[in-house]
Amino acid sequence: MSRLQNVTVLGATGTIGVHTLDVIARHPERFRAHALTANSRVEPLFEQCKQFQPAYAVMLDADAAERLRLMLRDAGLSTEVLYGMQALEKVASLPEVDVVMAAIVGAAGLKPAMAAARSGKRVLLANKETLVMSGSLFMEAVREGAATLLPIDSEHNAIFQVLPSKQGKNLTQNGVKRILLTASGGPFRKASHAELVTATPAQALNHPNWVMGPKITIDSATLMNKGLEVIEARWLFNATPDQVDVVVHPQSVIHSMVEYIDGSVLAQLGSPDMRTPIAYALGYPDRLESGVATLDLFKVARLDFEAPDTTRFPCLVLSYEALRRGGTAPAILNAANEIAVQAFLLQKIGFMDIPRMIESVLADANIEDASSLQHVIAADGWARHAAQQWMKASGIELSGMESGIAC
């Protein structure tokens, strides 16, 4: 019987964090939630602490941490409460922690994910921005820390499952011709350009298949999520841009495919539920019961595929361009997108303004080598400022907008 493994869940109150704790709760003999973290959502984290009684709880916000500390004290719980970015890095690298679920959304998840890799943890990577912003640096940290890296995105998890268990240095050595990333197409797959121009946040958040947080749901609607996944795949599987293609598959039953040079195409199928890749990564190389409903192929009845429309969804093209430019370009792409998505959710800009803002920021950017974390963070900061300047030049009020990542 496997020994009990201590798990740190970074971003415990988000969708991935909640699903992770659901799987952990199904296997109390194998896993213990040792540390749980959140940004500022005190009440949900308090409820999780009551259920799982972790040794540590971390809030990014100091005031939120104090509120949580008082609530836990009044409830008679001994969980130690910490706050700030250094505390996130600490619980990601504690000696007693075996597994780190890196599920903090956005650039804020970069540093704690890097800390987990450097300290040799089993890193369950759900934060795609870590690889988008600093793929080379992160993969180097994984190698130097002798960490085990397992992707949680359903697409990359699917690819990982259907690649050979003994992998060469690149896809060609594995006999792989290309990776096929599937995309649902989001809520606007059939929308006209005119409908996209007037699309509201409520419409964009109405994803047809997946239950996700607001940021990733908007990214799915613009296809930026798929663009970021293309960049992720480059680093996870040592692929070239030309070896990663996107296929729109509206049923979200095939999570991704790998085409081999002999003509074989291997796919991983399943119900659209993030607990499948989470359970796979937690138990790897064993398979765990996840609570996911059985895939009923008779109910699905059909599987459709189509090429992505890059005219209506130019974020995918921008992502490939950033990947090919390399250096700090992907970090700049990501930062501009985060500002654009936030502005759209606040109804300050329109849906089609998202790619316009990103394209403008990339066009003005001075791309440098992403040779250090400092360079990456500096590029991120420049891009956020440039995106906000684009808004100001367009006469858009910036009140309510966040700026920068926690350092």
Which CATH code for domain 5-152?
Answer: 3.40.50.720
Res 405: pLDDT: 47
Res 407: pLDDT: 31
* Cα gap 363→358, rounded to integer Å: 9
What is the full per-residue pLDDT of the chain (407 aa) written as tens digits? 568 999 999 999 999 999 999 999 999 999 999 999 999 999 999 999 999 999 999 999 999 999 999 999 999 999 999 999 999 999 999 999 999 999 998 778 999 999 999 999 999 999 988 999 999 999 999 999 999 999 999 999 999 999 987 766 789 989 999 999 999 999 999 999 999 999 999 999 998 877 778 998 999 999 999 999 999 999 999 999 999 999 999 999 999 999 999 999 999 999 999 999 999 999 999 999 999 999 999 999 999 999 999 999 999 999 999 999 999 999 999 999 999 999 999 999 999 999 999 999 999 999 999 999 999 999 999 999 999 999 999 999 887 776 554 33
* Cα gap 55→70, rounded to integer Å: 16
- Residue ranges of the chain that CATH labels 3.40.50.720: 5-152
* Cα gap 88→403, rounded to integer Å: 20
* Cα gap 243→109, rounded to integer Å: 27
| pTM greater than 0.85 (yes/no) | yes
Res 212: pLDDT: 78
DSSP 138-149: HHHHHHHHT-EE
Res 168: pLDDT: 64
Res 406: pLDDT: 38
Tell me the CB-side half-sphere exposure of residue 40, using CA atoms within 13 A: 3
* Cα gap 180→356, rounded to integer Å: 27
* Cα gap 393→364, rounded to integer Å: 14
Residue 232, number of CB atoms within 10 A of its CB: 25
Nearest C-alpha neighbor of 336 from the set 375, 371, 377, 388: 388
* Cα gap 184→182, rounded to integer Å: 7
Question: What b/e sequence results for 353-363 when a residue is b if at least 16 CB atoms lie within 10 Å of its CB, and e otherwise?
Answer: bbbebbbbbbe
Which CATH code for domain 326-393?
Answer: 1.10.1740.10
Res 128: pLDDT: 86
- Residue ranges of the chain that CATH labels 1.10.1740.10: 326-393
* Cα gap 150→166, rounded to integer Å: 15
Res 403: pLDDT: 56
210, burial (CB in 10 Å: exposed 0-12, middle 13-18, buried 19+): middle
